[in-house]
Amino acid sequence: MTVTTAHLSEKFRHVRLELAREKGHPQGDRAYGYDLVVPLEDDGNLDAKKCVKHQANCRVRRFRPGEEDLVGRLRRKPGGQWYFDYGEGEDDDELGFRFSDERFVTGEYVSILSDGVMHTYQVKLVEKL
């Protein structure tokens, strides 16, 4: 996932999410996750205004063992629901559960609805671009 950072706000961060403990993965699994390029407020919340202004640069890469990475964009529905958009149509979209309220801070947890199943991910890294 390549993002040109020269014209982006200094609030943009690379955020890495890794699968937290769940059935079938009692220790979590760093091989399942997401890399995000998103603007964050000082408290770690998504900066919705910057996301709208720089929508093309709010990127996501989903990685899983044995699958090709999916690359898409972080988008927001009119009602405020955040989702990952990987292409035409909604069949491959993944919903960020309560992303408007969550903090993307190392050690925190966020949930993502993927293929009809809710999974929890831990924020493992937040770094400036």
Residue 38 belongs to a domain: yes
Q: How far is residue 77 from each of residues 23, 31, 80, 128, measured CA to CA in Å?
A: 30, 29, 5, 26
Residue 4 belongs to a domain: no
Residue 99 belongs to a domain: yes
Residue 5 belongs to a domain: no
CB within 8 A of 74, min separation 6: which ones?
A: 36, 38, 46, 51, 58, 59, 60, 82, 83, 84, 85, 96
pLDDT in tens, the chain (129 residues): 555 555 677 899 999 999 999 999 999 999 999 999 999 999 999 999 999 899 999 999 999 999 999 999 999 988 889 999 998 766 779 999 999 999 999 999 999 999 899 999 999 999 998
Residue 106 belongs to a domain: yes
Residue 48 belongs to a domain: yes
Question: What pTM was estimated for this model as a whole?
Answer: 0.91
Tally of domains in the chain: 1
- Domain assignment of residue 41, given as a range: 12-128
